[in-house]
A and B are shown apart, each in its own frame.
Chain A
Amino acid sequence: MPATGAPTKITQGSPAKGGIGESTLRPDGTLKVTGEFAYSSDMWHEDMLWGQILRSTVAHAEIVSIDTSEALATAGVYAILTYDDLPTEVKNYGLEIQDTPVLAHGKVRHHGEPVAIVAADHPETARRAAAKIKVDYRELPVITDEASATAPDAILVHEGRDDHHSGHVPHPNIVHRQPIVRGDVAAARERADVIVTGEYTFGMQDQAFLGPESGLAVPEEDGGVHLYVATQWLHSDLRQIAPVLGLPEDKVRMTLSGVGGAFGGREDLSMQIHACLLALRTGKPVKIVYNRFESFFGHVHRHPAKLYYEHGATRDGKLTHLKCRIVLDGGAYASASPAVVGNASSLSVGPYVVDDVDIEAVALYTNNPPCGAMRGFGAVQACFAYEAQMDKLAKKLGMDPVKFRQLNAMEQGTLMPTGQPVDSPAPVAELLRRVTAMPLPPERQWESSEGADVRQLPGGLSNTTHGEGVVRGVGYAVGIKNVGFSEGFDDYSTAKVRVEVAGGEAVATVHTAMAEVGQGGVTVHAQIARTELGVAQVTIHPADTQVGSAGSTSASRQTYVTGGAVKNACELVREKVLEIGRRKFGSYHPAWATAELLLEGGKVVTDGGEVLGDLADVLEGESVEIEAEWRHRPTEAFDLRTGQGNGHVQYSFAAHRAVVEVDTELGLVKVIELACAQDVGKALNPLSVVGQIQGGTTQGLGVAVMEEIIVDPKTAKVRNPSFTDYLIPTILDTPTIPVDVLELADDHAPYGLRGIGEAPTLSSTPAVLAAIRDATGLELNRTPVRPEHLTGTA
């Protein structure tokens, strides 16, 4: 019997052309508003069991013993597995460095690390059984920051490292280090009339996607397993899962279930291997669903960071040099830390012209929660710091902060600190101009004829002020984010496209392994197929591993790379269709051979507009199907000593203006408006583009004023793993977000598009901070800002 909730094809016809550039509606929209869209936690199977993970209650300890006997004796429990039950020699996994144990072996390295897994007939039975497992820990000192990680007698978080970064790092508790050196900082420093320094702190942010980690593993008759799961990259999961199970990859079939958001938090595995292990052991389907508490332990977070910056500028406002050091806390396991280091270092200058730089970024191994990918990926932390520096410099020079930025803004042709030229439009000054040109929201909006509307004031319905002590501030920021996987990674996507005749009409099917996590990739794929093939009806096949890899839904890359792959496959299909047409009808009309032919409105037409025939007649019972890989331009690794290299393929730029009102007596902030201008190259779906910009902007707002995972520095334990204590913006915390979309084509990219998902998350945070500084006059070198930072009671 098939699993309930297994995804099926989604077909969407479009009355209009429905091609690129239109705000076509989501093909999964109806299912999502009726409650029928099957997310990974909705999967159901007859006779299924529930899996539960027992996690460590301490951050750093040796495991002396594990006793599962009482738990195993619980009625309804089918299996309990620990490290000793793992079936093969492969017992670790990881995105780049396989340092993460499937189940802890001899030691736990962070609070919440998986130690044992239970399968039972009811989730509560599984939870209670897990609680009966006795684990005897011998606690070890915790490593929580750079000083404790690199102390001469520091305990090594991972002993005997032999990964490809271990040879060049200055200490085994440093995952990766990337310096970037260009020009002559000492000489440039001499030219500076003003120098500003800053030490900045960026708190640990959680992706807080709403759909919890979950999935269903169904054992199959051939000894394999079928996993229905929410992830960002099916094939990356598969590469990590199969070796641990001891199965060839073709015996681990993966189908993407509905994904309730991701934002980087589903790049690493969570419950995938655990569910498969339990299913294979019990011979029954096993469902695992984290609750929110567990979700906070079940995925990596955004790296908290310390950033040490020094900038110089001449009296007339030109930047002379940058020295900076960025220390990212990677936590107990590597996850995406090496790539985050590459981004943080190469994007640490921001979208500015600075020829003389001395940059270093490192990621630490500590006993804090593991950190990895989150929207903005290393560029977010840097942007917070360099934008604070820009405001400090402007202030010191007595210049307008926007004009100062524009004076130093990069343009097409500017060299990155890595020596790589920016070879597509870089409208940094223009985006700042646009965001500045938007009308400001009126002052004192809370005032009404009936008195103060407290809902418009800081503190809201807590009724803490009627306007007394409330000060307005305005701040600006701009940022740069790379698009696509960088540093020489072979970043490709695969698409399989078919055209055939159904019901007398030519229809297309697009099959990729792209993880639709909410971003709207499925909408765009159908639009691309309509544009390239001239068909109205496009079916989106469920994403699975029966087709080649589509890479990750991250790095703002899916519309560019998998969209590019769909476009490419459509073009190949079109060529084949036209070839068939020429063969069948070429002798009847010379235009078949001589004219440039297009597919439009279900017909073959010449570029002059002459209709040569129906696509349905050309195909006549045949179908054309092509699966092909597509790549963006190759990139290079950064040199390990100098950081030089053509490491990135594309950049994305956004600017924000924040307007805040601060109750200076209580330290409460209300963001009144957060305006954004972004260059998107080409908006394939304008409605979705604006939605991405507003969503990214709001995540940036969250980490400006409320979002932070609090880790106890003494115990390295997480103190706020819930939505009661980890606050994400509600609709009351989120202001209006006017968006100005600029479309300057990148000639290297499909349709000229730019990856857009991450850039708005960068500049949102520093713009809000700048506005709060403007309102309060405080320096504010950390984010998020809490009331005590504004009232001087921290």
Chain B
Amino acid sequence: MRVNFTVNGRPQEADDVWEGESLLYVLRERLGLPGSKNACEQGECGSCTVRLDGVPVCSCLVAAGQVEGREVVTVEGLADYARQRAEGGCATGAPGTSLDAAKDWRAKGTDSRTGEGAELSTVQQAFIDAGAVQCGFCTPGLLVAADEMLEHHPDPSDADIREALSGNLCRCTGYEKIMDAVRLAAARQSEGV
């Protein structure tokens, strides 16, 4: 089957999709967006978290056909998404992207080899600065989940953060630096940094 949907503001068309394929598979294997991760493929780990019409979901549990005509934001589009939100483009839900903007869209930073110079969202930068990234396999899902929480809850308590991220497993960090990162992102966001 053919699936048409919007990913990170850009219209996408996936052909020859087998009906049993997940959104995660289509993103990773058909659209060249492997940022969403495949740690469990059973909805337990949160590493594949994306936003579907603004709502965080495990993309491994979404059948590809279900996203027909809908808007998906992945970690590759998180910086753009956050920037548009900050500019007041769209505070919640999917960002409206003009056709011209969509044509210019690119996921990569200025240096594709290193990512140096990439424009990062507040929460992405905070994860780096706080040491919340080790192997990094949980990171994309955590970033999407944390960004969504901060969108709705700019000044979360520790208990709020833990509750919001309880669907995202991390095996490396013991979560302490992830807590630090989200606290840091909240503080920087409130300062408008």
Which of A's residues lie within 8 Å of B, judged by CB? 4-5, 8-12, 23, 25-39, 41-42, 44, 122, 124, 207-212, 258-263, 289, 291-293, 453, 455-456, 461, 517-520, 687-688, 690-691, 694-699, 722-724, 728-732, 734, 736-737
Contacts and interface: CB of A to CB of B under 8 A. Distances in A.
B32 A210 contact: no
A255 B21 CA distance: 30
B134 A691 contact: yes
B76 A35 contact: yes
Given A4-B32, A260-B135, A695 B174 contact: yes
- Main secondary structure, interface of A, reads loop
Contacts of A41: 34, 37-38
Contacts of A293: 42
B104 interface: no
For the complex of A and B, the 6 pairs showing the least CB-CB separation, nearest first, are A35-B35, A518-B135, A30-B115, A260-B137, A32-B136, A698-B174
Given A212-B38, A291-B41, A28 B162 contact: no
23 contacts: A5-B34, A9-B113, A11-B114, A11-B116, A26-B128, A27-B114, A30-B118, A32-B136, A33-B136, A33-B139, A34-B107, A35-B35, A38-B34, A124-B21, A209-B137, A260-B137, A261-B172, A455-B159, A687-B131, A694-B173, A695-B134, A723-B45, A730-B167
Contact of A520 (B107, B134, B161, B171): B134
A732 B137 contact: no
B94 interface: no
B120 A33 contact: yes
Nearest to B135: A518
Interface of B: 18, 20-21, 28-29, 32-42, 44-45, 47, 74-76, 78-79, 107-109, 112-116, 118, 120, 124-125, 127-129, 131, 133-140, 143, 159, 161-163, 165-179
Contacts of A519: 134
A33 B45 contact: no
B176 A35 contact: no
Q: Which of B35, B38, B44 is most buried by chain A, counting CB atoms within 10 A of its CB?
A: B38
Contacts of B118: 30, 34
A8 B114 CA distance: 8
Contacts of B138: 210
B159 A453 contact: yes
Contacts, number: 216
A518 B172 contact: yes
B135 A211 contact: yes
Contacts of A260: 37, 39, 135-137
Nearest to B75: A35
Nearest to A33: B124
B76 A34 contact: yes
B164 to A, nearest CB: 9
A225 B126 CA distance: 40
A34 B172 contact: no
Contacts of B20: 124
Contacts of B128: 25-26, 29-30, 33
A10 B113 contact: yes
Contacts of A690: 131, 176-177
Nearest to B41: A291
A31 B169 CA distance: 20
B115 A737 contact: no
A158 to B, nearest CB: 32
Nearest to B138: A210
Nearest to B139: A32
Nearest to B181: A33
B21 to A, nearest CB: 8
A728 B171 contact: yes
A405 to B, nearest CB: 24
Given A11-B113, A30-B128, A730-B168, 11 more contacts: A4-B32, A34-B109, A35-B35, A35-B75, A207-B171, A210-B135, A293-B42, A694-B175, A695-B174, A731-B178, A732-B166
A723 B135 contact: no
Contact of A210 (B29, B143, B169, B174): B169
A179 B143 CA distance: 50
Contacts of A261: 134-135, 137, 171-172
A326 to B, nearest CB: 27
A691 B137 contact: no
Nearest to A722: B42
B126 to A, nearest CB: 9
Contacts of B124: 33-34
Contacts of B107: 34-36
A737 B176 contact: yes
Given A456-B159, A691-B131, A737 B47 contact: no
Nearest to B159: A455
A289 B163 contact: no
Nearest to A23: B131
A518 B174 contact: no
A31 B115 contact: yes
B136 A42 contact: no
A34 B120 contact: yes
Nearest to A694: B174
Contact of B135 (A25, A453, A517): A517
Contacts of A38: 34
A455 B163 contact: yes
A36 B134 contact: no
B113 A8 contact: yes
Q: Which of B36, B118, B172 is most buried by chain A, counting CB atoms within 10 A of its CB?
A: B172
A698 B175 contact: yes
Q: Which of B21, B45, B135 is most buried by chain A, counting CB atoms within 10 A of its CB?
A: B135
